[in-house]
Amino acid sequence: MSVGALTSLARVELCERLATFSPSPKLHRLQLYSSGAEAVESALRLAKCYTGKHEFVSFWGGFHGKTMGVLSLMGSRFKEKLGPMLPGSHTVPYADCYRCPLKLAYPGCSLDCVELARKQIRMSSAGSIAAVIVEPMQGTSGNVIPPKEFLPAVCEMAHDLGGLLIADEMITGLGRTGRNFGVDHSGVVPDIMAVGKAFGGGFPLSGIVTTDEISAAKPWSNPSGSSSSYGGNPLGAAAGATALQIIDDEQLVENSAKVGAAMLRELKGFAERYPFVGYVDGAGLFLRVELVKDKASKEPLPRAVTERIFKECARRGLLTMAYAASFRIQPALTIDEATGKNALGLLADVFDDAVRAGWWK
Ligand X SMILES: Cc1ncc(COP(=O)(O)O)c(C=O)c1O
Residues that bind ligand X (CB under 6 A): 35-37, 40, 63-65, 135, 139-140, 168, 170-171, 196
Shortest distance, position 135 Cβ to ligand X, whole Å: 5
The least distance separating ligand X from the CB of residue 95, rounded to whole angstroms, comes to 16
Looking at the Cβ atoms of 36 and 282, the one nearer to ligand X is 36
Among 48, 46, 56, which residue's Cα sits nearest to residue 216?
A: 46
- State how far the alpha carbon of 78 is from the alpha carbons of 71, 75, 90, 271, in Å: 8, 8, 16, 30
The residue whose Cβ lies closest to ligand X is 36
Q: Which is nearer to ligand X, 139 or 340 (CB)?
A: 139
Write the DSSP assignment of 208-268 as a string of letters.
EEE-HHHHT-TTTTSTTSS--TTTT-HHHHHHHHHHHHHHHHTTHHHHHHHHHHHHHHHHH
Pick 210 or 312: Cβ nearer ligand X: 210
To ligand X, the closest distance from the beta carbon of 23 in angstroms equals 17
Which CB, 94 or 351, lies closer to ligand X?
A: 94
Assess whether the previous peptide bond of 219 is cis (omega < 30° from 0).
Answer: yes
308 vs 328, beta carbon nearer ligand X: 328
Distance in Å, CB of 61 to ligand X, minimum:
11
CA angle at 306 for the pair 141 and 324, rounded to the nearest 5°: 10
Taking the complex as a whole, how short is the minimal distance between the CB of residue 65 and ligand X, in angstroms? Answer: 4
**H-run or E-run covering 31:** strand 29-33
> In whole angstroms, what is the distance from residue 79 CA to residue 87 CA?
14
User: Which DSSP category does 183 fall into?
Assistant: G
DSSP sequence for 111-156 = THHHHHHHHHHHHHS-S-EEEEEE-SSBSTTT-B---TTHHHHHHH
Tell me whether residue 64 or residue 328 sits nearer to ligand X (CB atom). Answer: 64
Answer whether 254's CB lies under 8 Å from 174's CB: no
Minimal distance, residue 67 CB to ligand X, in Å: 7
8 A C-beta contact, residue 305 and residue 274? no
Give whichever of 204 and 282 is closer to ligand X, judged by the CB atom.
Answer: 204
Task: Write down the least CB distance from residue 181 to ligand X, Å.
Answer: 12
